[in-house]
Amino acid sequence: MSSHPRPQVIETVAGMRDVVAHERAAGRSIALTPTLGALHQGHLAHVERAAELADVRIVSIFVNPTQFGADEDLDKYPRTMDADLDLLGELGVPYVFAPSVEEMYPKGPSAPTTTISAGQIGAMFEGKSRAGHFDGVLTVVAKLLAITTPQFVTFGQKDAQQLFLVRRMITDLNIPVQLEIIETVREEDGLALSSRNQFLDASQRHAAVILSTALKAASSAADSGLDAVIAAAQGALMGESGVELDYFTIVDTETFMPVPDGYRGPASALIAARVGDTRLIDNWTLYVG
């Protein structure tokens, strides 16, 4: 149990708006960190950065059903509210917005009146494997931004496609918020932190490191061109039989479209794979020479 006071938990939209109005009236700036809960050090890096950006931090904890498909892990997604509140209390976070599904979707999550489409990019990569996922993400992010009206919002680099789409939505819809990008936080062996890592047993946890190993290999080969990047990643992945690859691809950082043959310039290497029953993603920024 934390010796620090826990954040005040706000469970209604009206209650959150009252808090925001109070803080704004006092002249204080606000930073929002949206999460699904099950917090780890990656999330806490967001919270710590938010303290540098704004006077008041709000962390939302909401397992959003509209971003989970019918065959995904919504029901087993880890929910650790008590532990989350203790962690946030240690960092001095004053408010947690933790609405119910009914509060966020009064007509039901399967039929919200208005949704935001992620478009062509939203149907690729993660969106191809998880139909409708990014429409659900963008819709709930837009709702959270409308409810909390922050000056700053933090998003992590680990989900590069989500970050691209959120940035594009903020720009396209003229949402008055500054997007703060938080670098991926990793274990000492390179595995990107994820709430889903807790589903891995010891052998799966060992195998999962191959995702970051393949990305590092790709980055190391980047000076030799695109073919070398792909060959290096494939070579690394061949050494681990416990990982079922979904995709490995190189995208243009400006368009998020796959780069053409012979491409040179800044890019992101994306990887997604299933380790046992757990699906993991990662990415790496590189410059193809």
Query: Tell me, what DSSP letter sits at residue 255?
Result: T
**Helix and strand numbers, DSSP H then E, in the chain:** 11, 9
| Burial class for 76, CB neighbours closer than 10 Å (0-12, 13-18, 19+) | exposed
- Cα angle 187, 188, 191; round to 5: 40
Helix (H) or strand (E) holding 169: helix 160-172
Whether 22 is a known active-site residue: answer no
What is the DSSP pairing of strand 243-252 with strand 265-275? antiparallel
* Residues in contact with 281: Cβ distance below 8 Å, sequence separation at least 6, in sequence order: 126, 158, 159, 211, 270, 271, 272
**Packed helices 160-172 and 133-148: angle between N→C axes, nearest 10 degrees:** 50
What CA–CA distance (Å, rounded) separates 132 from 70?
A: 10
Side-chain half-sphere exposure of 164, counting CA atoms within 13 A? 24
Concatenate the DSSP letters of all residues of 204-227 into one string: HHHHHTHHHHHHHHHHHTGGG-HH
Q: Which residues of 237-271 are buried (b: 16+ CB within 10 A; e: fewer)?
A: beebeebebbebbbbeeeebeebeeebeeebbbbb
The active-site residue out of 4, 22, 40, 43 is: 43
Measured between alpha carbons, how far is 15 from 17 in angstroms, rounded to an integer? 5
Active site residue ranges: 43
